[in-house]
Amino acid sequence: MGKKRLEGKILNPNVDGSVELIDNGFVEFDETTGKILDVGRKMQKNVEGSFISSENILIPGFVDLHSHIPQLPGAAKNADELLPWLKNHIFPLEIKFSDLSYAEKTARFFFNEAIKFGTTTVVAYSSIHKEATDVVFEVAKEIGIRAFIGKVMMDRDMKRYPEELPLMSRNIKDSLDLAKKWHNSNNGLLQYIFTPRFAASCTMRLLEKTASVAKEGEFFIQTHLAENQSEIHFIKSLFERERHRVPTNTHIFKKSNLLGEKTLLAHCLYLSTTELQLIKESGSKIVHCPTSNIFLQSGFMPFRRYQYHEIQIGLGTDVAGGYSLSMFNTLRDTIETSKIVNLINDNKPYPCLRPEEVFWTATLGNATILNLGSKIGSLHPGKDADIVVIKPEPSFSFYNSSNSIVNILENLIYLPHTYKISSVYIAGKKKF
Ligand SMILES: [Zn+2]
């Protein structure tokens, strides 16, 4: 163990939202502490007088802000809409986590695949099972991935879930036990995140109690909001029947005090201006999952509109509503969705998203949402060495003629067959 040096073109996100290209760059880090020591431009020249260039591309590891570990074996299958998909396809997969050796195998496959795709931090749902979630943490520790993991909290079944659900108090106790054991463990790589699935599977009491214990312990909370029209109507009528008179589903989270600066709201496709204001005031973050939104026919999230409301937006794969653990795939669908939002909006008031913007969002942007902006998300001295090394395929070199940031990112985002991710480091340790 000692000093390690990687060389190549560096794509480096900056705090101001820009991405810098360091041609002929190097990153030096300490394999023992896992910290980046130096980042810069190589000065030596070759005989022709031009800079010697390593063809590698170095980027900070991706942060995937939303995914479901037990769902990975169901990827790319059965594209029903959300509610029938959950009932017919996903819930039967998730209950298999009562088998701990199956949970162990699935978690191992999930984390290793995520790392192969260049993801060094995942924010993930486990299943409703406390023991399986414990096993998932064990595997994450052994592999050494950076992760926020939570036991799924559900205390009502909507006649959809094929297994008996734990009571509200059991959901809270199991989550607290896991948080106590795992939060901030493995040198701070592992964090616990409170995980009430969505309002359809949680009583108001569970939402309220979750908000109170999570906020007391200063934990992050993850849940789903306004993913699909049928789901929105279903949840609204469910809470109305229980005499919780709320104008919108966001008000259910407002009323239960679940909104807050450490709350991650996945999807958020259909939000009124009032709901956007509630989210903004609370400091909650939106997690855009465009691949899943298309696969499950949920719709198209208007990213720019939410940005104009000054809401922080991150990106997630949402495996297995999204079929790929690749954040490059998510970046492509983020840009393409912004084009579709324009196509279906006659006034076209929103400029499409650009490659540098979405790349920044999936690295330093997502890291900032997790309050890890000073630790990961870019390659700067003092930060943890979460680094992805990408090798362009030589036979496609004619694709890589231009050396602009946009051109390099366009190749990475749209032409995955023209390069290979060749190694991945997390906190200075080689994981792939
Ligand atoms: Zn999800």
Residue-wise pLDDT tens for the chain (432 aa)?
799 999 999 999 999 999 999 999 999 999 999 999 999 998 765 545 445 557 899 999 999 999 999 999 999 998 799 999 999 999 999 999 999 999 999 999 999 999 999 999 999 999 999 999 999 999 999 999 999 999 999 999 877 888 889 999 999 999 999 999 999 999 999 999 999 999 999 999 999 999 999 999 999 999 999 999 999 999 999 999 999 989 999 999 999 999 999 999 999 999 999 999 999 999 999 999 999 999 999 999 999 999 999 999 999 999 999 999 999 999 999 999 999 999 998 777 789 999 999 999 999 999 999 999 999 999 999 999 999 999 999 888 777 667 899 999 999 999 999 999 999 999 999 999
Please give the CATH topology (third level) of the domain spanning 62-369: TIM Barrel (3.20.20)
How far is it, in rounded angstroms, from Cα 311 to Cα 307?
6
Residue 204 CB partners (closer than 8 Å, separation 6+): 239, 242, 244, 252, 255, 256
Distance 266 CA to ligand 1 centre (A): 7
Distance 91 CA to ligand 1 centre (A): 13
How far is it, in rounded angstroms, from Cα 214 to Cα 175?
10
Q: List residues bridging with 237 in a β-sheet.
A: none
Q: Kindly state the tokens that stand for 89.
A: 């396809």
Instruction: Indicate if the alpha-carbon torsion angle 316, 321, 325, 329 is positive or negative.
Output: negative
Distance 185 CA to ligand 1 centre (A): 25
Distance 69 CA to ligand 1 centre (A): 10
242 with 202: CB under 8 angstroms?
A: no
Distance 67 CA to ligand 1 centre (A): 6
Q: Kindly state the tokens that stand for 50.
A: 């031009």
Beta strands in 204-340 (DSSP E): 220-225, 263-267, 285-288, 313-315
35 with 29: CB under 8 angstroms?
A: yes
Task: Report the relative pairing of strands 285-288 and 263-267 from DSSP bridges.
Answer: parallel
Question: Residue 400's pLDDT is what?
Answer: 64
Residue 27 CB partners (closer than 8 Å, separation 6+): 5, 6, 10, 36, 38, 39, 58, 379, 385, 387
Residues surrounding ion ligand 1 at CB below 5 Å:
318
Distance 21 CA to ligand 1 centre (A): 33
Distance 128 CA to ligand 1 centre (A): 14
| Look-up of token digits 């939000």 | 271
Distance 321 CA to ligand 1 centre (A): 7
Q: Kindly state the tokens that stand for 78.
A: 């059965």
User: Could you state, in order of their start, the residue ranges of all structural domains in the chain?
Assistant: 3-60+377-430, 62-369
Distance 223 CA to ligand 1 centre (A): 8
Distance 429 CA to ligand 1 centre (A): 29
Torsion of CA 53, 119, 73, 200, to 10 degrees: -150
Distance 349 CA to ligand 1 centre (A): 29
CATH class of 3-60+377-430: mainly beta
Distance 295 CA to ligand 1 centre (A): 12
Distance 224 CA to ligand 1 centre (A): 6
What is the amino acid identity at position 326?
S
Q: What is the pTM of this model?
A: 0.97
Q: Which ranges of 16-99 would DSSP assign to H, the alpha helix?
A: 82-85, 91-94
